[in-house]
Structure 1
Amino acid sequence: MKKLFYLLLVSVFTFSCKKNVTVAAEEAKPEMKPKTEVNVAYPSDTIRLSNTITLNATATYLLKSDAKANSTGYITHMTIRLGDRISKGSVLFGLQTKEARALGNTINKLDKSFRFSGTTTVVSPATGYVVMLNHQIGDYVQDGEILATITDASSFGFVVDVPYEYLQLIKTQNSLSVKLPDGNSLPAKVAKVMPSVDAVSQTVKVLLQIAKSSTIPENLIGTVTLSKSTVYGLSVPKMAVLSDETQSSFWVMKMINDTTAIKTPVVKGTETDQYIQIKSGNITTKDKVITSGNFGLRDTATVKIKKH
């Protein structure tokens, strides 16, 4: 019995020692920090940064001309439809007075070779598009009544509501372009500035004239971008710059080696859609800054650069 007891005691002691050695070995292992996968980029000092403002521009015809009846009578024929493009002087309508119709029928019955009609014609007062038709063949109209409305192609342009503080800026632009919703851009120039300011919005209407307008519908909205200033300097991709909730302090995550990124405070300058100027901060064109995966990283974070 004593031998059995001693054997059990030795077995328990041996198992306990092995367990303690295993626990100690596990505790001695270094803690593995999780690595966040990131993309990096180098800052640049050759990018042109423009501080811009974008305004809406609405296609419009400043002038519209009315084709009016030149006598009282019936519309006997018309050569236009809504949306047609016509030239100045083109015949639009034919009119015949009530008296001429009655007299003409009587004369024609007496002498068919005379062919009296008593009709007059109405011509287009301008070159442009037919935007309104008020009558059709057979209608009886009064002298001076509006039969159709034609846009004046020479008055076409884009109207921009420009805040008054930017009025001189748009006047001094050497070249302007109107960007259309389909991605195309049209060269434009300032043609006219309206001599009044909107009382509520404090904006001035400015007419931009373009070279070609035949395919642009009225009321189409484009955009005009004005450059307020242009600078060159150290800049980083926009996604590299982080900020606090109050947008009062900014920083980038800079790589100090292949696996460690540190928080580096910076002062922002001019900002575009893709880049931000760095006015001051401990970064150079030789440093790598994190452009994705940087959100939420703490100072001295362990990261892994993605391979492309």
Structure 2
Amino acid sequence: MPAHKIIIPCCLFLFISACHEKKEATPNVMPSPRTIVSIGLASDTIQISEEISLHATASYLLQSDVKANATGYITGTKIKLGDKVNRGAALFSLQTKEARALGNTINKLDASFRFNGNSSVQSPSSGYVIMVNHQTGDYVQDGEVLATVNDASSFGFVMDVPFEYLNLLKNEKSILLSLPDGTHTTGIIAKVMPSADAISQTVKVLVKVANRNIPENLVATVTFVKNKMYGLSVPKAAVVSDETQSSFWVMKLINDSTAVHTGFEKGLENNKWVQVISGNIKTGDRVIVSGNFGLADTSLVTIQNTGP
């Protein structure tokens, strides 16, 4: 067989094999995945207030005992537990043992005496009846406690204030109290106790409020401002930190598709904003507020919408 007839098929085979290998060596290049994010803007017009919240408990500081004014039998009871009474109101009627024994005899001898030996026991203060110890028919001794009435004039909210916040609280002309049902009431500081707790170093403070039938032992929240400041701030949702809460950063956009890790020093904060004390952040910078968790430095992103 001539040599040129052998060479031509061999060259054709090698050419086809080379083309096939080249085709297999060129893989499909997939585009890098992008994280869908929402962004917010750094601002220097935000006022951030550092607030302190303390718990306050509704209390009646004074309670008055209703005491028997003679030894004898209770002939009438005009109160029950929870009743509101006024100072001087008649709560019990008493008849002495001697009057019960001799009263009818004396009246039979001379009806003009009108002797019955009854006496009235009055409330020593205005307030609510919180305890009733005796009922009609009971025999009691002179001075024995028949009931207890809390003193409405002593009602207020008592809170334990750390000593370092005491002057801040005193500067407040009115105190706003948030109740558990979402309503609010205002009060004023009526008294600061002259001693501090030896362990917690807190001072008891009484806040007087208009009693709107607030039950005793109800816990309210008192919030007051410790510090106010204007300055560069970023949305709180944009701030990411390490596990020890010692390092803080945001993912800042350097263009429409790339976000970089940008550390900063954190200042005051509230529920929406965090103050930037120092760092490579300026007013108007776009920072990621949603989708930023776990993003690596120089991540590719797709902007979905713009937040605050």
2:29 matches 1:20: no
Structure 1 residues 250-302: Cα deviation after superposition (integer angstroms, max 9, x where no partner): 21101122221111121111111221111122223322111121111111101
Partners of 2:193 and 2:203 within 8 A in 1? yes
Query: In 1, distance between residues paired with 2:19 and 2:145?
Result: 108
DSSP-derived class of the 1:100 partner? helix
Specify whether residues 7 and 98 from structure 1 end up closer, same or farther in structure 2 by C-alpha distance, changes over 3 A only: farther
Tell me how far 1:194 sits from its aligned partner.
0.7
Amino acid at match of 2:148: T
Counting only pairs closer than 5 Å after superposition, residues 288-303 of structure 1 correspond to structure 2 as: 288-303=286-301
DSSP-derived class of the 2:38 partner? strand
Alignment partner, residue 119 of structure 2: 120
Specify whether residues 7 and 68 from structure 1 end up closer, same or farther in structure 2 by C-alpha distance, changes over 3 A only: farther
The equivalent position to 2:254 in structure 1, one of 249, 253, 256, is 256
Query: In 1, distance between residues paired with 2:102 and 2:253?
Result: 99
Dislocated runs of 4+, deviation >6 Å: 5-12, 110-115
2:222 matches 1:221: no
2:50 matches 1:61: no
Query: In 1, distance between residues paired with 2:98 and 2:20?
Result: 125
Partners of 2:37 and 2:305 within 8 A in 1? no
Tell me how far 1:61 sits from its aligned partner.
0.7
Tell me how far 1:220 sits from its aligned partner.
1.0
Structure 1 residues 49-98: Cα deviation after superposition (integer angstroms, max 9, x where no partner): 11122111111011111111111111111111111111111111111111
Tell me how far 1:249 sits from its aligned partner.
2.4
Amino acid at match of 2:265: V
Tell me how far 1:24 sits from its aligned partner.
3.6
Counting only pairs closer than 5 Å after superposition, residues 64-213 of structure 1 correspond to structure 2 as: 64-107=63-106, 116-210=115-209, 212-213=210-211
Specify whether residues 14 and 84 from structure 1 end up closer, same or farther in structure 2 by C-alpha distance, changes over 3 A only: farther
DSSP-derived class of the 1:174 partner? coil
Alignment partner, residue 286 of structure 1: 284
Structure 1 residues 205-227: Cα deviation after superposition (integer angstroms, max 9, x where no partner): 111111x2132111111111121
Specify whether residues 8 and 147 from structure 1 end up closer, same or farther in structure 2 by C-alpha distance, changes over 3 A only: farther
Structure 1 residues 233-253: Cα deviation after superposition (integer angstroms, max 9, x where no partner): 111121211122333322110
Partners of 2:251 and 2:262 within 8 A in 1? yes
Q: TM-score, normalised by structure 2?
A: 0.89
Tell me how far 1:192 sits from its aligned partner.
0.4
Tell me how far 1:171 sits from its aligned partner.
1.2
Amino acid at match of 2:220: G
Alignment partner, residue 40 of structure 1: 39
DSSP-derived class of the 1:99 partner? helix
Query: In 2, distance between residues paired with 1:135 and 1:289?
Result: 71
Amino acid at match of 2:17: S
Q: TM-score, normalised by structure 1?
A: 0.89
Tell me the number of residue pairs that the alignment of Structure 1 and Structure 2 aligns.
Answer: 303
**Percent identity of the aligned residues?**
57
Structure 1 residues 126-184: Cα deviation after superposition (integer angstroms, max 9, x where no partner): 11111111111111111111111111111111111111111112112223211111121
Counting only pairs closer than 5 Å after superposition, residues 227-266 of structure 1 correspond to structure 2 as: 227-266=225-264
Structure 1, unpaired ranges of 5+: none
Amino acid at match of 1:287: D
Query: In 1, distance between residues paired with 2:9 and 2:71?
Result: 131
DSSP-derived class of the 2:288 partner? strand
Amino acid at match of 1:89: G
DSSP-derived class of the 1:105 partner? helix
Amino acid at match of 2:104: N
Tell me how far 1:17 sits from its aligned partner.
3.9
Specify whether residues 253 and 117 from structure 1 end up closer, same or farther in structure 2 by C-alpha distance, changes over 3 A only: same
Specify whether residues 12 and 95 from structure 1 end up closer, same or farther in structure 2 by C-alpha distance, changes over 3 A only: farther
Query: In 1, distance between residues paired with 2:86 and 2:78?
Result: 12
Specify whether residues 240 and 116 from structure 1 end up closer, same or farther in structure 2 by C-alpha distance, changes over 3 A only: same
DSSP-derived class of the 1:226 partner? strand
Partners of 2:43 and 2:284 within 8 A in 1? no
Query: In 2, distance between residues paired with 1:109 and 1:23?
Result: 132
Partners of 2:48 and 2:270 within 8 A in 1? yes
